[in-house]
A and B are shown apart, each in its own frame.
Chain A
């Protein structure tokens, strides 16, 4: 027990650690990456299981009969949508009323900070329509939501048709204990945001909406439905929500259980489950699925309309019908049964979904990696930073000012940029962001001019100490909230932080440091993501995609309050600048 009590032995231990610092760091880094890759290996993962008792043992029988009629209703909806070229509000109100629902509408409008060229919108005005099925003998305290977005073009008409079909069928059943809200939201996420803000009477993003007239109490769970063809081959489950939040795992279990029961092919990340985990291709399939989830979660975007519910402590998921022209076909009746079964089980809930995990990764729909398994991978990477602390203040403020400029200038200066340069607003925003980002690289020279003195050996050590601590705290916190984002950032920033000193070869190190910077990480991620989806792109296309990803990221922040853009601009980027400063320390 005298290991640390004896000063001599302690000194020896420290000497050993200092001497072996570099190899230990390398080993830890490798181990961290290896651990992470191991997570996708099936024997290391857990099978999913239903934790919630209220949903487990109770049997429900699915009897939804009218899939054909739902498809017809979907066609009718499409026709009316085309006629008014937008949301057919009056028709929806009338149809829902005819089905015995209490129908309300909500108008909203929002001017985007800059035009969104991907979806071609700038000033958004729309109307949400929702009908409430009042549960018999229930006091309006609990509700479930089924939503379908009304998207422009020919998409998603079948989802609205099925929603109305289910409404009609559900209305005639006596067993509901919770009100069910059938929502058709205009302008997908913006409409959903307006509805949720209206329902909870909050205003986090400065949107204009008319107050809601009818409510159903506290919402317990929600599903968003996306269907674009009469016949689908498989159902895809989307879990990733705003800021990388995930719904309770039981919701995924519920979906999986009913797909198994009814015999519907189900996928996650668009990937079917494979049984050959012991083969190389099987393993790489699992890795791909998991990596897709990591990338999507790290992006912090809502990947479906459900993503915005999670902020309000409402468990939600999006169910997408995919038609990949395989042999196996599923008709609307079967999908209706799937949803009926899920809603009946959700209706049986006595408490909110809370029994199962909130932090997990899914290498396949039937397996998951819980927080206890994935955190060591991150821990192994983070531990490298700790010896770094042993080895040892200044342009901190300037780095952060640059970060703040990156956060604010793109939006503020778009008008000026458009006046002086031949670019559109969106390009102006993105290019300003990149310009500010690049301008930050000139910082070391400017900082030294301000300091007007020789940087001492001691100086850079202190700076590095601060930077390392900063990075450790930053990554630690990020990984707690959004593991995927934290892990990707750690993967690139940690090596940069570990090797940088003023004494390494300048040009080479500068190159490496730029490669490992957050912006380049994003660029690589874009390419990697395309690769995973089996849709590789050329460099030029990739670059354009990269620019649109940046603009989408900024938009997500202003529209739905996504935190990834401010996190990168205000914290990660200044932190990286500190290391850049250390490299050019004089």
Chain B
């Protein structure tokens, strides 16, 4: 299998960088830090850049050539017959990578991405039966349910934007699922229902609890991320389960979807005892159609599996500002996944250009730069397909040791929070706060709120205020709830003024449920899923236009279009709301019982006590009455009867 990697170097150029859904543009820049100048051995930068432009995502410029490396690797393996033999163009490809971002708080963020590309067509009755790298279970789901795009995430914990910055892939606490169906699907709701049940089995999760009461069709917030231009939101379904607990049982099926499983490559690091000893854990699966090449003549299916984890300095680091692969995952790396065409580790060293913040060992000469979330970041790259990466001990254990605790994180430009205000069990108010920290630019955000029916929103009390003034949303899409059928859906396009807090408030009434509708733990409260805030945020690089950072004058007058803004999705925390709950305890049962007894017993007893009884004389027959009348007429007193 290693042969594929060696035979098709062209793929390596395309796939040399990690890519993100949320990258709006890419740019290649040449960096040649002086301290590495002596190591610089390949001057073919210009040619490489030209090649890389063809890549579909995040541009990478490295001081050392990937092409050269591959040629070297090929040369090493020339003895192997498989390399010499030209094989037919494979239709699938697998890449793996790990990005590590040391955080200012001393915590560390690790993000795994595994991408499988497959040039095939699941649709139009095309029966696909031969699977190689692409997992068969998901392929069958795509073809059976005519899925155009599928995004599913399982998250345990809440992403702390203000401490950790923006995540590479945002996700709300609990489970989130959104699916675009092909326009050939006639009964979307039934297909959706069936699909959630199947996915529930595949991922060992409670996705079968997704039904009409927590499913919405957002009109603007969730656009398709792959190719295709159908944006009729009738074919979109979105649901979250904020209460879903994510654990080993969800990780195992997720790992089984990988071509190498957890046997080789980066997935070796995914040990649940460490992954669930962290501050944040999120795993996701994204399926979408993408272009096969830059001309987009053919399409292929992309399966992207991601796993994000943040390790805590105090809990797992024992307070020492030092991280290594072994400390994080209790494993070291010894090889790449043999099926992978690329296998890399990126360490974000943007804040550490001179090595004054932390020390990285073993050192690497490979550097890469990419536009990530509106910021130009520099990464140290470790290529696991290269044998010399592992050194003489045949194992790679990256070590990051902090030298100082100084330094400030760039404040995220957009963040949001949400809470329930008020007290008592009758009414309440949902407050959503959206912060724009940009010093001088305003930008619009799309706010999506899906609130369960048992919180009855008073939509006339909806207010949007920024800086003490009324802020009128330019677009509102509101779908009222129906009791026990569907939730409220509120989507708004709001302009956030620069350097401000925008507050959205809406009052609600807590519904009294039927007694069978309460969960087994009603006093825990009921969850309301996260609000979703989607936005194009002006990038921090564009912010530099007016600043004094050293740049050539000719490059800094007009803000560059590609990097002027980037897409960000922010999730607020879910809410836990207490509803009026009867006392489901023994006294409650006793009260029910006594009420019944009283209702039955009291009436009869009251009757007996208060009613006065009289002996009623039997009424005389008709004949006797007539006889009496006759007697009266004849002068006898009518005593008979």
Binding site for B on A (CB under 8 A): 1-7, 100, 102, 134, 136-142, 171-174, 200-202, 214-215, 217-218, 311-313, 350-352, 354-355
Structural contact, A137 and B279, CB atoms closer than 8 A: yes
Structural contact, A137 and B157, CB atoms closer than 8 A: yes
Structural contact, A4 and B610, CB atoms closer than 8 A: yes
607-635 of chain B: CB within 8 A of chain A = 608-613
Determine the residue in chain B with the shortest Cβ distance to A100. B314
User: Does B524 lie at the interface of the complex (its beta carbon under 8 Å from any beta carbon of A)?
Assistant: yes
Query: Interface of chain A, helix or strand or loop or mixed?
Result: loop
Residues of chain B with a CB closer than 8 A to A172's CB: 314-315, 318-319
Given the known interface contacts A7-B612, A139-B158, the answer about A174 and B277 at a Cβ–Cβ threshold of 8 Å is: yes
Structural contact, B158 and A136, CB atoms closer than 8 A: no
Determine the residue in chain A with the shortest Cβ distance to B572. A140
A455 to chain B, nearest CB (A): 36
Structural contact, B612 and A5, CB atoms closer than 8 A: yes
- A6→B612 CA distance, assembly (Å): 6
Residues of chain A with a CB closer than 8 A to B163's CB: 102
Given the known interface contacts A134-B160, A215-B419, the answer about A100 and B313 at a Cβ–Cβ threshold of 8 Å is: yes
Given the known interface contacts A1-B609, A3-B609, A217-B573, the answer about A136 and B315 at a Cβ–Cβ threshold of 8 Å is: yes
Determine the residue in chain B with the shortest Cβ distance to A170. B314
Give the most central of B419, B429, B583, B608: most A CB within 10 Å: B419
Residues of chain A with a CB closer than 8 A to B422's CB: 200-202
Residues of chain A with a CB closer than 8 A to B417's CB: 214-215
Determine the residue in chain A with the shortest Cβ distance to B524. A351
Structural contact, B314 and A139, CB atoms closer than 8 A: no
Residues of chain A with a CB closer than 8 A to B276's CB: 137
Structural contact, A354 and B523, CB atoms closer than 8 A: yes
Interface 1/0 per residue, B260-283 and A, CB below 8 Å: 000000000000000011111100
Residues of chain A with a CB closer than 8 A to B578's CB: 218, 313, 352
Residues of chain A with a CB closer than 8 A to B523's CB: 351-352, 354
A264 to chain B, nearest CB (A): 29
A422 to chain B, nearest CB (A): 44
- A6→B574 CA distance, assembly (Å): 67
Partner of A202, one of B158, B316, B421, B608: B421
Binding site for A on B (CB under 8 A): 156-158, 160, 163, 173-174, 242, 276-281, 312-316, 318-319, 417, 419-425, 429, 431, 521-525, 527, 573-578, 583, 585, 608-613
Structural contact, A139 and B521, CB atoms closer than 8 A: no
- A172→B417 CA distance, assembly (Å): 26
Give the most central of A1, A139, A140, A215: most B CB within 10 Å: A139
Determine the residue in chain B with the shortest Cβ distance to A139. B173
User: What 9 A-B pairs have minimum CB-CB distances, sorted nearest first?
Assistant: A139-B173, A201-B421, A351-B523, A137-B157, A141-B576, A4-B609, A140-B573, A137-B156, A351-B524
A134 to chain B, nearest CB (A): 7
Determine the residue in chain A with the shortest Cβ distance to B571. A139
Determine the residue in chain B with the shortest Cβ distance to A355. B585
Determine the residue in chain A with the shortest Cβ distance to B519. A351
Residues of chain B with a CB closer than 8 A to A174's CB: 277, 315-316
A487 to chain B, nearest CB (A): 22
Determine the residue in chain B with the shortest Cβ distance to A143. B576
Determine the residue in chain A with the shortest Cβ distance to B316. A174
Determine the residue in chain B with the shortest Cβ distance to A102. B163
Residues of chain B with a CB closer than 8 A to A6's CB: 612
Residues of chain B with a CB closer than 8 A to A102's CB: 160, 163
Given the known interface contacts A215-B417, A350-B521, A352-B523, the answer about A312 and B609 at a Cβ–Cβ threshold of 8 Å is: no
Partner of A139, one of B312, B313, B574: B574
Partner of B280, one of A137, A217, A312: A137
- A100→B312 CA distance, assembly (Å): 10
Partner of B423, one of A4, A140, A200, A350: A200
A195 to chain B, nearest CB (A): 14
Structural contact, A171 and B314, CB atoms closer than 8 A: yes
Structural contact, A138 and B420, CB atoms closer than 8 A: no
Structural contact, B609 and A141, CB atoms closer than 8 A: no
Residues of chain A with a CB closer than 8 A to B312's CB: 136
Partner of B521, one of A7, A138, A313, A351: A351
Given the known interface contacts A171-B314, A201-B429, A352-B524, the answer about A136 and B278 at a Cβ–Cβ threshold of 8 Å is: yes
A sample of 21 cross-chain residue pairs with beta-carbon separation below 8 angstroms, ordered by A number, consists of A4-B609, A5-B608, A5-B611, A100-B314, A134-B160, A136-B278, A138-B157, A139-B173, A140-B173, A172-B314, A172-B318, A200-B423, A201-B431, A202-B423, A217-B576, A218-B525, A218-B577, A311-B423, A313-B425, A351-B521, A351-B522
- A312→B422 CA distance, assembly (Å): 8
Given the known interface contacts A134-B279, A313-B423, A351-B521, the answer about A5 and B609 at a Cβ–Cβ threshold of 8 Å is: yes
Residues of chain B with a CB closer than 8 A to A173's CB: 315
Q: Known pairs A5-B612, A137-B156. 7 more at Cβ < 8 A?
A: A134-B160, A136-B312, A140-B573, A201-B429, A202-B421, A217-B419, A217-B573
- A141→B578 CA distance, assembly (Å): 12
- A498→B607 CA distance, assembly (Å): 32
- A115→B278 CA distance, assembly (Å): 52
- A142→B610 CA distance, assembly (Å): 56
- A214→B573 CA distance, assembly (Å): 12
- A202→B421 CA distance, assembly (Å): 7
Determine the residue in chain B with the shortest Cβ distance to A179. B158
A473 to chain B, nearest CB (A): 22
- A312→B160 CA distance, assembly (Å): 27
Residues of chain A with a CB closer than 8 A to B313's CB: 100
Residues of chain A with a CB closer than 8 A to B280's CB: 136-137
- A142→B316 CA distance, assembly (Å): 23
Residues of chain A with a CB closer than 8 A to B521's CB: 350-351
Given the known interface contacts A136-B315, A137-B280, the answer about A218 and B157 at a Cβ–Cβ threshold of 8 Å is: no
Residues of chain A with a CB closer than 8 A to B157's CB: 136-139
Structural contact, A139 and B174, CB atoms closer than 8 A: yes
Determine the residue in chain B with the shortest Cβ distance to A215. B419
Determine the residue in chain A with the shortest Cβ distance to B279. A136
- A311→B369 CA distance, assembly (Å): 55
A575 to chain B, nearest CB (A): 28
Partner of B242, one of A136, A139, A142, A200: A139
Residues of chain A with a CB closer than 8 A to B160's CB: 102, 134
Residues of chain B with a CB closer than 8 A to A217's CB: 419, 573, 575-576
A480 to chain B, nearest CB (A): 16
Determine the residue in chain B with the shortest Cβ distance to A372. B587
Residues of chain A with a CB closer than 8 A to B277's CB: 174
Partner of B421, one of A2, A200, A352: A200
B118 to chain A, nearest CB (A): 34
B5 to chain A, nearest CB (A): 36
B506 to chain A, nearest CB (A): 13
- A467→B534 CA distance, assembly (Å): 64
- A247→B411 CA distance, assembly (Å): 41
Determine the residue in chain A with the shortest Cβ distance to B423. A312
Residues of chain B with a CB closer than 8 A to A137's CB: 156-157, 276, 278-281
